[in-house]
Structure 1
């Protein structure tokens, strides 16, 4: 028996080692990891520059609490804020914590309660972030949610026009709904949301937990759409596998999060900060992000070419290194068969196969992954006929 709560449907793979884009299991089998730890290992597994930074910090101190001035925490906050063209950072331990803090900040700053989110969104599993999430399956069995959230269809301009008013504290959205199925915001819709927030004094919160830190070829995905949010949340890829989350905000919001207003015992932990700082030093380089964009174009072109004409692939969506393949194939069966052939991928929504390769993936690894993908899908399609 397991002593763990059965909150996860675990795979049959037990990792033993990992490096770059590869995981090796206890039996010595190698897998191309196109999950990146669910969008966490953006520099691949165990990047040397991050490992070196963590090791250096381990030899200095591990924890002192946020009562102390910590220069590296300030440096990491500066780098993160500047990358988003914003001003202030609060460090937490996870994406859910970051979103929880963003919700608190928006309510306190505006004095309002209503927050608009979207169907198929995912913002976390704390009570507030679960309430913010527009997926009923996340909420089943927990009783009434917080009452101040309103859920609208994503990319529906008329719906958002009717709902944003002078009682709205914030609109909270992902520009790419990762867990919901790789649904990408439309420019006109995002422009409308931004303008409505400005007109009604509501805050625009953009959840970049999965989309941020280079995942789409820019520091943050909202930068593809020329948006100017009030609050941005970040986590996953920020620490290359060490737990860290962050709220990034405009300077006008700083005094609402004064001493005693919010906190976290482990938020901004020195080891996580060392990892985040080293991660950002690599990913936020212009040349690195240009290479990510080039590889993401190549990846999607090859997928489109190799899967063309397969009736079981109903649609495909992509922004940077976030790819969703809508399929009529039973997802658990398909994902297991891909694992049998050495490729790790993820589900999203109800029928979307999600690929989140490391940003450091090579063209040779892309070619190998696509070969496995098309081979498994074509064989399954033939068998199903």
Structure 2
């Protein structure tokens, strides 16, 4: 069966896909329809934290599937409350709302900032990517994403990352929030400076806006801490989370402080499917595995090793934990040739590769990846 032609016939052409059909996964490895094996260095774009087909994850989700999938948020369900309790423990945030994706989490966070402050202006960073719904798209930097859908939500100001002077010029007493990714993922994996983060919170104390951390890509152990905010020693007013939260199962969430939560009321936001028993169980199972197998620590240790090995091939390697960006010319061609070598890679631009593998990856797989990547580079010279 020609799946490529069927896709053209039946699906809206929103995606530029790689020409491979994956049918199975195990740990850090994927298998295509012909049985070929690939090392997965993308993990569903930083989603599949615990690796593919983890037995405990399957067991927990299967058990919940047999009991209860969905009843809506008109009623109480135990997995939702259990997940909120666990998230308070690992994130340090106080109260939570559940949705289905990262862009929904950002949308909710933006609405919260307007409700809590009574103001309209959003401040985001140049290079930012926060999603593709109308609100999240409004605070996304790249013009090619925004322009076809204008007019978007206004007012929005964009600040140069790590430029404190630019920040001071653009935040004021009309600002509802500053939203930022502690590590800009889609821009190529660029961590923000500690001094800049500190300045954001100092400006918050002066102008009384909301600080939103978009931890959709950086959360749940990806950077070697449970959340990237922990590298900076700060507590945002709001955190948006998703991706690895369910290790591939669709779930997102928003965490807020008690100070923010007390200014919110019933009916001001909602989600039909958000926080349903199956999704929350998938998230609980993910957290259980991350804790039991010490995957936060593994991300820090193996991520450091991965960056060291990549430095043998690239003059510029960035990131924290297992969220890594590296400069490589002809990055899109490297991705294409990666499939021949049994590597699943991701390019964020013509000269940058992003590495966000499952958190279960070990040094042996890293060595395999670097050897294969080196082989690809030799064919390009």
Same fold, TM-score > 0.5, yes or no: yes
Aligned residue in 2 for 1:104? 111
Partner residue of 1:20 out of 27, 45, 64: 27
Aligned residue in 1 for 2:325? 324
CA contact (8 A) 1:214 1:284 kept: no
SS of equivalent residue, structure 2 residue 10: coil
Aligned residue in 1 for 2:14? 7
Deviation digits for residues 317-363 of structure 1, max 9, x if unmatched?
A: 1211011112222x321110011111011122453111111100122
Alpha-carbon distance in 1 for matches of 2:240, 2:349: 22
Deviation digits for residues 48-85 of structure 1, max 9, x if unmatched?
A: 11111100101101111111111111010111122121
Alpha-carbon distance in 1 for matches of 2:218, 2:245: 11
Q: Post-superposition shift, 1:2? A: 2.2
Alpha-carbon distance in 1 for matches of 2:341, 2:147: 35
CA contact (8 A) 2:317 2:324 kept: yes
SS of equivalent residue, structure 2 residue 311: helix
Aligned residue in 1 for 2:5? none
Q: Does 1:151 align with 2:158?
A: yes
Aligned residue in 2 for 1:310? none
Aligned residue in 1 for 2:255? 248
SS of equivalent residue, structure 1 residue 205: strand
Moved over 4 A (4+): none
CA contact (8 A) 1:232 1:249 kept: yes
Partner residue of 2:175 out of 168, 175, 190: 168
CA contact (8 A) 1:170 1:202 kept: yes
TM-score by length of 1: 0.94
CA contact (8 A) 1:98 1:246 kept: yes
Alpha-carbon distance in 2 for matches of 1:289, 1:167: 39
Alpha-carbon distance in 1 for matches of 2:293, 2:344: 29
Q: 1:1-385 to 2 correspondence within 5 Å?
A: 1-284=8-291, 287-305=294-312, 307=313, 313-329=314-330, 331-380=331-380, 382=381
TM-score by length of 2: 0.95
SS of equivalent residue, structure 1 residue 51: helix
User: Which structure 2 segments of 5+ residues have no match?
Assistant: 1-7
Q: Post-superposition shift, 1:288? A: 3.3
SS of equivalent residue, structure 1 residue 65: coil
Q: Post-superposition shift, 1:126? A: 0.2
Alpha-carbon distance in 2 for matches of 1:66, 1:353: 41
SS of equivalent residue, structure 1 residue 170: strand
SS of equivalent residue, structure 2 residue 316: strand
Alpha-carbon distance in 1 for matches of 2:168, 2:291: 35
Q: Post-superposition shift, 1:174? A: 0.3
CA contact (8 A) 1:121 1:177 kept: yes
Aligned length: 374
Instruction: Pick which of 145-154 and 103-112 moved more.
Output: 145-154
Q: Post-superposition shift, 1:136? A: 0.8
CA contact (8 A) 1:345 1:356 kept: no
Deviation digits for residues 232-278 of structure 1, max 9, x if unmatched?
A: 01000000111000000001122333211110000002111001011
Deviation digits for residues 70-122 of structure 1, max 9, x if unmatched?
A: 11110101111221211100000000000000000010000011111011110
Alpha-carbon distance in 2 for matches of 1:341, 1:285: 33
CA contact (8 A) 1:120 1:349 kept: no
Alpha-carbon distance in 2 for matches of 1:224, 1:342: 34
Across the aligned residues of Structure 1 and Structure 2, the Cα RMSD in angstroms comes to 1.3
Q: Post-superposition shift, 1:298? A: 1.1
